[in-house]
Amino acid sequence: MAKTKNVLSPKLSLILLNIFIIATIAAVANAGSNDLGSRSSKTRRPWPFKKLNKSVVLMISSDGFRFGYQFKTDTPNIDLLISGGTEAKSGLIPVFPTMTFPNHYSIATGLYPAYHGIIMNTFTDPVTGDVFNKGLQPKWWLGEPLWVTAVNQGLKAVTYFWPGSEVPKGSWTCPKRYCPRFNNSVPLEERVDSVLSHFDHPEDEIPDLLMLYFNEPDKAGHNYGPDDPRLTNAVSRIDKMIGRVIEGLKKREIFDEVHVILLGDHGMVTNCECNEKAIYTDDLADWIKIPAAWIQSYSPVLAINPLWGENVENQGEKNAEVVAKMNEALSSGKVKNGDFLKVYLKEKLPERLHYSESYRIPPIIGMVGEGLMVRQNRTNSQECYGDHGFDNKFFSMRTIFVGHGSRFRRGKKVPSFENVQIYSVVADILGLRPAPNNGSSLFPLSLLLPFGATREIEYEV
C-alpha cells in the first residue's frame, strides 16, 4: 500500500504564511517599544531612527594618520567603526602635495589645490610677493568649503580647528559659538566634549554638519618617525578619542543616527637629514647654478621660481633650459642621489597630480623620491624624523577613511579613492546642492546606500 504524502493545500499554506508575517510584525513593534537600556546587544532595530529626524554628519580628521597605523596597536574603537561601516580598503589617497593645509581644504571643497588656491602649507604669490603661511585672509582661500555650502542652504555647521574654517567666506563668518579659534594647546578630550555638547541643544539648534580636527598622530610622526613606540602611543590616544565620541553618541542614543566619518589628510615616512638621503643643489654647479633666492621650497617639493627680471624676454624658454640642465646633471651619475629627483616645468608634470592650473604654483617643480630631501649644501646633521608632502603615488602617503551611519554599508570595503570625492559624499548625505568641484557626481553611489534606503542595525549597549 502506497504511503500517503503529507502535503498542505495551497490555501492553508497561504493562511499560515500570513499568520507568520503578522506575528513577525507584532514582535518587531513590541521590540520597538522597549526601553533602550534593557536591550540585548543582539537586538535589531529598523532604520531610520527618529531621535534626530534629519541627516547629521560628524567628520573627524586625524592629522598624519598613515594607513596601517591601525594595525600597529589595538584600536577597538576604530575597529568598531570599520566593522559597522564602510572602509577604503587600502587607504584614502591624498592630493598632491601631501601636506596638511592643501589636503584639509581639498577634503572640505572637493577641489585640487591648483583650484582652491592653497598650493602648499607656505608659498609666495608671484604677482604680489605676499607670503601665505597658514593665514586667514580670504584672498587665499578659493572654492566653497562644506561649512559654507551647508550654511548657504539653510543648514547649521560647526567646525573645530579645521584648517580654513576660520576664514570669513560668504555667509560664513566663523561664529564664535560654532567655530572656535585655533589653539593647539586645547586637549583632544576638550575638543571632543565641545563637539558632543552641540547634541544637547534643542532639536532645531543641533548642527547638521560638524567637522573636528586632531593634530595627532602627525605631531608624534614628525618628532619621532612612523615606527617609534611614541607614535604608537599617539595612535592609541586617537583611538581613545574615537571611543569618547562613540560613547558620547551612545549616551545620547544617537550613535546609529549620526554619520561619523573618520579620515586623515596624509601619511608619513621616515626621513633622515644625512648625506645618504639628500640631494644638494650645489652639486649641480658644473651644469647650472641655482641661486638660493630662486628656491621657494626645497623638499619634499622642490619649488623654483627663477627671478629673471621684467626685462628678460622668453622667460618660458629660459625656464625650460633650467629644467633641461638640472635633469642632465641629475641623470649624469655624478650627482649623489640624483636619480631620486626629477624636475619639471609645472605644465609638464604628470596629469594625475592636477598641479599646474594655478599662477601661484612656481614654474619649476622637482619631485623628490620617497623619504629623501633636497638641500642647498652639505651639513653634518644626522637627525631622523618623519615627513610627508611627497608624490601621492607612494603608499606611505595614504591615510584612512571610514564611514559609519545609515547611508554607509555595514562591513563594506571599497577601493582607494582620492579625497576630492568626499565633498560630494557629504553633500549627498545632507541633501545639499554641491558647489563646482573636481570630484565625480556619481561617486557617492559607490559609497552610499540610496537616500531613504533601510538597513538593519545591531544596536550595541
Active site residues: 100
CB count, 10 Å around CB of 253?
Answer: 14
The DSSP call for residue 373 is E
The DSSP call for residue 169 is B
Please compute, for residue 255, the number of CA atoms within 13 A of its CA located in the half-sphere on the CB side. 22
State how far the Cα of 253 lies from the Cα of 207, in Å rounded to an integer.
16
DSSP 52-64: S-S-EEEEEEETT
Q: Rounded to 5 degrees, what are φ and ψ at 401?
A: -145, 125
Q: How far is CA 80 from CA 75, 233, 246, 247, 386, in A?
A: 9, 19, 9, 12, 29
Residue burial 25-36, b: 16+ Cβ < 10 Å; e: rest:
eeeeeeeeeeee
CB count, 10 Å around CB of 445?
Answer: 12
CB count, 10 Å around CB of 210?
Answer: 25
Q: Is 37 helix (H, G, I), strand (E, B) or coil?
A: helix
State how far the Cα of 429 lies from the Cα of 406, in Å rounded to an integer.
10
State how far the Cα of 135 lies from the Cα of 90, in Å rounded to an integer.
33
State how far the Cα of 121 lies from the Cα of 135, in Å rounded to an integer.
10
Matching residue, cell 544617537: 254
State how far the Cα of 124 lies from the Cα of 457, in Å rounded to an integer.
51
For residue 436, whether the previous peptide bond is cis, meaning omega lies within 30 degrees of 0, is no
Cell of 260: 561619523
State how far the Cα of 342 lies from the Cα of 425, in Å rounded to an integer.
35
State how far the Cα of 186 lies from the Cα of 193, in Å rounded to an integer.
11
